Amino acid sequence: MKLTILMPVYNERTVVERCISQVLVAPIPENMERELVIVDDCSTDGTRELLKSQVEDRYPDVRVFYHETNQGKGAALRTLIPLAQGEYSIVQDGDLEYDPQDYLPMVEAFRKENAAVVYGSRFMCGFPKMKPANRVVNILLAWMVRFFFRAKLTDEATCYKAFQTELLKSIPLTCRRFEFCPEVTAKVLLRGHKIVEVPVSYSARTFAEGKKIRWTDGVAAIWTLIKYRFVP
């Protein structure tokens, strides 16, 4: 059995090596192997060169691919998903906002809960520190999922989304940027799958530290949930 970690990367030169190191030593079930698949989304800060010199061909369980133009996180994930070889796949941003130590309870939830989809919720044990506007949008997105899709969910916009790989590959995605989250959430729920949540830790970055999501992405996420709920 194998876990595939899907890592889209864009302009993360200062943290991506540490993130990769943590991913490769994070605890997973004893009978499970892991692979890390990375797509650099045409970074311009030296991330691309660092991956080529320090990561590519250095680790047997790491594969690195490159976009020739910047296309967005959703597009990077659409490149990554067909490359996954594991029975399960989890999304991991190339920063340090989320802790790979949380892989184990997420992966174990597949067996314990007989789940096809597992989300790592930042909000099951209270709200971590984040900008008030980000908190409001996260609350709104979770409410929209509960209202429009009748699904109990506390954290729609979490990065830590894990899937049975066969299911993930079967979902037709059109996302380009951060609307991956609402699109895949809507399409999973419309297929009748329950999303199981487990609590995870979270340490938000500032824009100065490299955070990339903007208020416009929140608007796009809201529209995406509405679109896939009501538009055939």
CATH (domain of 17): 3.90.550.10
Report the predicted TM-score, pTM, of the whole model to 2 decimal places: 0.92
Overall number of domains in the chain: 1
Q: Look up residue 44 and give its two tokens.
A: 């311009």
Decide: residue 192, CB within 10 A, 0-12 exposed, 13-18 middle, 19+ buried: exposed
Q: For residues 8 and 75, is the Cβ–Cβ distance under 8 A?
A: no
Nearest to 134, CA basis, from 212, 44, 42, 50: 212
Mind listing the pLDDT tens digit of every residue in the chain (232 residues)? 999 999 999 999 999 999 999 999 999 999 999 999 999 999 999 999 999 999 998 999 999 999 999 999 999 999 999 999 999 999 999 988 999 999 999 999 999 999 999 999 999 887 777 778 888 888 999 999 999 999 999 999 999 999 999 999 999 999 999 899 999 999 999 999 999 999 999 987 565 555 666 767 778 899 999 999 987 5
Apex 193 CA angle, 177 and 138, nearest 5 = 45
- Confidence at residue 231, expressed as pLDDT on a 0 to 100 scale: 75
β-strands 88-91, 161-164 pairing: antiparallel
Q: Which domain, by its residues, includes 16?
A: 2-230
Decide: residue 114, CB within 10 A, 0-12 exposed, 13-18 middle, 19+ buried: exposed
